[in-house]
Amino acid sequence: MSAGKDPVTGKYKYLHKTVKGGPRIADQELARLVATSKQQASANTSVTVERVLDEWMKAPVNRKLAPSTVQGYTNLIKSHIKPAVGSIRAEDLTARHLDELYEKMLDKGLSRSRIRHAHAVMRRALGQAVKWGWLDRNVATLASPPSVPKAKTKSPTPLEVKQILEATAVINEQVAACFALGALTGARRGEILGLRWSDCDLESHVLWFRRSVSYTSLSGVIVKDTKTHQERKVAVGDVTETVIRSQINLLRSMCANGFEIVSDPYLFFALPDGSRTFHPDTLSKIFRKVCDQLGLSYNLHELRHFTASQLVAAGVDIRTVSGRLGHADPSITLRIYSHVLEAQDRQASEHMEKILEH
């Protein structure tokens, strides 16, 4: 009897059994076959885990993923997931298979957070297969990926930031200006590189972050929207405006050398007409080089932590800090910078004790 059509191949599957005995026994076995057929009809497929992953990566649900996310997923699938479980039929995959995959990744020295990313890939891909009718359940929800201990963020001190800016200016003044703007606003690397003159409203003393510049080996350098897919404005003061005006005047000076500036140039420019900004990796490499020279162990993203930590420590409310950083939700800011709030809690305790001391 038919066990239904394979949702992937489109071919019908059949169940059969030879019965020895009379009509009564045959009817009993037929009833069992009918029950088995109903259980398998909705999900019985010969598709492999590899096929599920390939189809999921091409699905519309993933078309809006950032290029860096796509590259991360691709690397995990190619290097770790497919070699371990790719050839297994998706309906035969078990939580134990996935736990063994995670154990192997740990043995290879991969970080727990990277393994959690691999688990997220499997959970989402298998979940999509369930929606397509390829599977009747998502076994990734039963797997046990390793927990990731909460990492405490670190950031340079104000003195260290000044040292970094001074040392960078010796190498490249424009890059030093990028770092200064990052420290002043807390903006992401790609958002700073995406700034154009039209984003700098100095009359209203605001700066608009409308786009981001990113790079992956798969996509190359591209300009896209911000991480949260929303533009935002931040208030700026005299120091920030001085950095912005210096960049504008620097590009304008190129006109004296015979270059024609494009209509809406990048604030930080790699070409004298302002039509192209720096490669994102250039900033990160220079930042690491400078920190190595100074004997500091920071990366460029920790300049963003510096901004947030300083604002929280100064008593700026979390919603304002979150808005300046471009977090999708203030809870993200609370989670990342809770250690700074703990110090404020201690100060609050000491303050109240002084009030009621006598």
Residues 219 and 254 in one domain: yes
pLDDT of residue 241: 96
Residues 221 and 97 in one domain: no
Q: What percent of the chain is predicted at pLDDT more than 90?
A: 66
Residues 283 and 207 in one domain: yes
Residue 187 three-state SS? coil
> Side chain identity at 78, as an amino acid letter?
K
d(CA 188, CA 144) in angstroms, rounded, equals: 33
pLDDT of residue 17: 64
d(CA 242, CA 224) in angstroms, rounded, equals: 27
Q: 50-108 pLDDT, tens per residue? A: 999 999 999 998 888 888 889 999 999 999 999 999 999 999 999 999 999 999 999 99
Last residue of a domain, one of 115, 141, 167: 141
**How confident is the model over 321-331, as a mean pLDDT?**
92
Rg (CA), the chain: 28
Residues 112 and 77 in one domain: yes
Are 211 and 222 in contact by the 8 Å Cβ rule? The answer is: no
pLDDT of residue 192: 97
Both tokens assigned to 275: 């039509």
Total domains, the chain: 3
Kindly state whether residue 153 falls inside one of the protein's structural domains: no
| Axis crossing angle, helix 301-313 with helix 173-185, rounded to the nearest 10 | 40
- Sign of the Cα torsion 32, 35, 41, 42 reads negative
Residues 330 and 195 in one domain: yes
pLDDT of residue 5: 53
Residues 57 and 33 in one domain: no
Residues 239 and 295 in one domain: yes
Kindly state whether residue 177 falls inside one of the protein's structural domains: yes
CATH code of the domain in which 312 resides: 1.10.443.10
Residues 314 and 180 in one domain: yes
Tell me the residue range of the domain where 114 lies: 53-141
**How confident is the model over 214-232, as a mean pLDDT?**
89
Kindly state whether residue 81 falls inside one of the protein's structural domains: yes
DSSP state of 273: T
Residues 231 and 319 in one domain: yes
Residues 256 and 319 in one domain: yes
Residues 67 and 195 in one domain: no
Look at residues 186, 149, 116 and name the one whose alpha carbon lies nearest to residue 327.
Answer: 186
Kindly state whether residue 192 falls inside one of the protein's structural domains: yes
Residue with tokens 């992953």: 53
Kindly state whether residue 108 falls inside one of the protein's structural domains: yes
Both tokens assigned to 206: 């605001």
Mean pLDDT taken over the chain: 88
Residues 178 and 260 in one domain: yes
Pairing outcome for strands 2-5 and 12-14? antiparallel
CA angle 163, 167, 170 (to 5 degrees): 150
pLDDT of residue 42: 46
- Say whether pLDDT at 193 is over 90: yes
- pTM, 2 dp: 0.74
Q: 23-44 pLDDT, tens per residue? A: 777 667 767 766 665 555 544 5
**How confident is the model over 249-272, as a mean pLDDT?**
90
Kindly state whether residue 350 falls inside one of the protein's structural domains: no
Q: 337-348 pLDDT, tens per residue? A: 877 767 667 777
- Within the chain, residue ranges assigned H as helices are 23-41, 49-58, 67-76, 82-85, 95-107, 112-132, 158-171, 173-185, 189-193, 238-252, 280-294, 301-313, 318-325, 330-336, 338-355
**How confident is the model over 12-26, as a mean pLDDT?**
66
